[in-house]
Amino acid sequence: MWDTRFQGDTYFYGTEPNDFLKAHAHDFVPQGQILSLAEGEGRNAVYLAQQGYAVTAGDA
């Protein structure tokens, strides 16, 4: 199912981070390390990295 969903050239969920993460990213330790699981196309991990966090992201 997931291979079919993500096989196209467009982003299924877009490129902006989810609203909850965007609203609460300031709660993390500045310049800290973050483990981001179930990352899908990586939009949240990219956002966090752009904010200066060291991000390790994974997905099945």
Predicted local confidence at residue 56, as pLDDT: 97
Name the amino acid, one letter, at 60: A
41-55 average pLDDT score: 95
Predicted local confidence at residue 20, as pLDDT: 95
Residue 48's nearest CA partner among 58, 38, 32 is 32
Domain count for the chain: 1
4 pLDDT band, cuts 50/70/90, is confident
Confirm if 37 and 10 have CB atoms less than 8 A apart. Answer: no
Paired tokens of 50 = 């752009």
Write phi, then psi, for 34 (nearest 5 degrees). Answer: -135, 135
Predicted local confidence at residue 27, as pLDDT: 93
40 pLDDT band, cuts 50/70/90, is confident
Give residue 15's domain range: 2-57
Compute the residue count for the chain.
60
